Amino acid sequence: MPGPLSAIDRRRVLTGAGMLALLAVVAPACGSAPAPPAVDDLEAQRQLAQRDSELAAAARARLTGPDADDARELAAALDQVSLERAEHARALATEIARAAGKPPADATETTTPVPDGPAPTVSQVVNALRAAADSAGKLAITSSGYRAGLLASIAAACTASYAVALVAQS
């Protein structure tokens, strides 16, 4: 007398296993796509970096007066800060483009003109760098992967700039 298991042959077992494998491969494709990473915070950091670069350049321009010989080291430090913050802005723009799935812009960097009036002081540059370091550090804690490393590096560079390069010179 045939039992209930005798009706299952090898062909049915292989067919069932194949169907389960197909289901395992196809089922994840039915889900929704992951949300793209937010870039608003990075855009704010990029704008801060660009503004700080311009602020340092304007403070440097203030030092080109008749007593510029006394301020050469400070001028060099401000030049370095301006270059570093411009590089931070470029790196952030590249990360924003990568996260948005767009190719990075080709050197179409826009700068805002330095407003007329009194040039910024070194203490204003130091305060701006301190705020940028705090902001980037807080954002790095909530980020992960490359983005966290980029933001932590920016925070460290800003801290070194205001704590070592500019404070020691002013």
Q: Looking at residue 140, what is its pLDDT? A: 93
Domains in the chain, number = 1
Residue 32 lies in a domain: no
Widest Cα–Cα separation across the chain: 113
Residue 57 lies in a domain: yes
Task: Return all residues near 54 (Cβ < 8 A) that are at least 6 apart.
Answer: 82, 111, 112, 114
| pLDDT digits 0-9 by tens, 144-165 | 889 999 999 999 999 999 988 7
Residue 28 lies in a domain: no
Q: Global pTM?
A: 0.70
Residue 45 lies in a domain: yes
Tell me how crowded residue 147 is: count the other CB atoms within 10 A of its CB. Answer: 20
Residue 29 lies in a domain: no
Task: Return all residues near 159 (Cβ < 8 A) that are at least 6 apart.
Answer: 129, 130, 133
CA-CA-CA-CA dihedral for 44, 49, 51, 53, to nearest 10: -170
Residue 31 lies in a domain: no
Task: Provide the domain limits for residue 53.
Answer: 39-102+120-164
Residue 14 lies in a domain: no
Q: Looking at residue 15, what is its pLDDT? A: 81
Residue 56 lies in a domain: yes
Q: Looking at residue 63, what is its pLDDT? A: 79
Q: Looking at residue 82, what is its pLDDT? A: 95
As a whole number, mean pLDDT of residues 1-26 equals: 72
Burial of 141 (0-12, 13-18, 19+ CB in 10 A): exposed
